[in-house]
Amino acid sequence: MGATPVNTKPANILMALTYAIAALGIGLAFSALGDAKPDLGLAALLAVGGGGILSFVRHAVFHRADAQRIGWTSERTNAFQIEVGLANLAWGAFAVLAVLLGWGLAAESAAFLVFGLYMSLVAVFEVLNAGGENRRPWAQVIPSAAFGLLLLTVGLTGINAAT
């Protein structure tokens, strides 16, 4: 017996918002990194803070819709999915705190770096698991991988500028 179909619209909207806000933040980050004294504050709030917090909401609050969106079927709450949401909330909150408390370029860059490492490692896992039974479609893996690489690039460039 399969899982009861769930409306994936909330998860799809949250995913689109996550990519839109994060893309704006990454664009601002690349622009700021060209300055003599880069400031990643707004970029970190958008890309990592907004991206992380929206991902938490998608994974933890709309977990059934998000599971259906990525092709998982289950009638029960998946604790792992909630844990992933909490991890997203952790680096999102870190980015917000880094900016609001004035921790500086190194901390803001570290927020990008952590989020980028996570997204890139998930993409590597998905490539290695391409033949597995729980594999995700390439249409989901490729944007996630690109997002991870952009976050890593901003994080590493920002750390370099801060030291």
Q: Which amino acid is at 35?
A: D
pLDDT at 3: 59
Q: Quick one: pLDDT band at residue 133, thresholds 50, 70, 90?
A: low
- How far apart CA 159 and CA 112 sit, in angstroms, is 10
User: Distance between CA 97 and CA 115 in Å, rounded?
Assistant: 15
Neighbour count for residue 145 (Cβ, 10 Å): 18
The 10s digit of each residue's pLDDT in 136-163 is 777 778 888 999 999 999 999 999 999 9
Asked if residue 132 has pLDDT above 60, the reply is yes
| pLDDT of the residue at 48 | 98
Could you report the per-residue pLDDT of 33-45, keeping only the tens digit for each? 999 999 999 999 9
CA proximity to 145, closest of 19, 61, 16:
19
How does the average pLDDT of the chain come out, rounded? 91
Position 127 scores a pLDDT of 87
> What is the rounded radius of gyration, in angstroms, for the C-alpha atoms of the chain?
16
Q: Write the single-letter amino acid at 63.
A: H
Band (pLDDT 50/70/90 cuts) for residue 1 is: very low
- Per-residue pLDDT at 76 exceeds 60: yes
